[in-house]
Every structure is written in structure tokens, then in C-alpha cells.
Amino acid sequence: EVQLVESGGGLEQPGGSLSLSCAASGSTFSSHAMSWVRQAPGKGLEWVSVISSGGITHYADSVKGRSTISRDNFKNTLYLQMNSLRVEDTALYYCARYSGNSFSGGFDIWGQGTMVTVSS
């Protein structure tokens, strides 16, 4: 069974940086597109970024220009680097796997999330 385990969350100061990781078990990581989705406390799901198996990336307007999504298919790991953190970046950050390599697909596997709190 494929599992996703996020790490790297914590308390960050406004203007600071964060680096999140998502470790995937199983041997099919490289053939799936991946995504980061976040959820502020008590709020709905908000898409953050996607990356295809070959490295094509897209970002939500709210994080574009200060975020970088990347992946290491040898380490079966997805990453998110975010700079110039804002209070509104406070959220539970989920790693999610696409059912295939198409961005039009659904997210069939989700991690349990890692909490990021941005506060002074």
C-alpha cells in the first residue's frame, strides 16, 4: 500500500522560509504527478502547487514567485520550498498523489499533513 508521509512543518516567523518534504513508499512514485494542498484551520482545501513526473510545475497565485516544488524520483520524495512567509500561509500542508501523470486526474493518495504556523 502506497503511503505519503510529510515532514518539515513547525513555527515560522513572517518573512521566513520553510522546507517541506513528502516521502512516498512504493515503487511507482516516479510515474505519478504530485501536488501540495493546504488547509487553514477551519477552512477548506486550497491547492498550492503541482509537479508532473517529468518536472513540469504550476503554482497557485497566492504562492507563485515565492515557492518551489521539486521531486527526487530516486529518493521517492516530493519537496516544497516557500519563502517570504505570511501569516496567511498558516495551514496544514498535505502531499497528494495524482492517480496518474495527468493534471486533469484526481488525487488518489493523501498524506496526513504537516502543520505550518507563521507567527511572530
Find the shortest distance in angstroms from Cβ 44 to other proteins: 4
Site for other proteins contains 46 (CB under 8 A): yes
Site for other proteins contains 45 (CB under 8 A): yes
> H/E element holding 36?
strand 34-39
Tell which one of 55, 72, 105, 119 touches other proteins (CB under 8 A): 105
Q: What is the DSSP string of 46-98?
A: EEEEEE-TT--EEE-TTTTTTEEEEEETTTTEEEEEE-S--GGG-EEEEEEEE
Site for other proteins contains 72 (CB under 8 A): no
Distance CA 77, CA 1 (A): 16
Site for other proteins contains 53 (CB under 8 A): no
CB nearer to other proteins: give 18 or 34: 34
Query: What are 18's strand-pairing partners?
Result: 82
- Binding interface with other proteins (CB under 8 A): 35, 37, 44-47, 50, 58, 60-61, 94, 96, 99, 103-108, 110-113
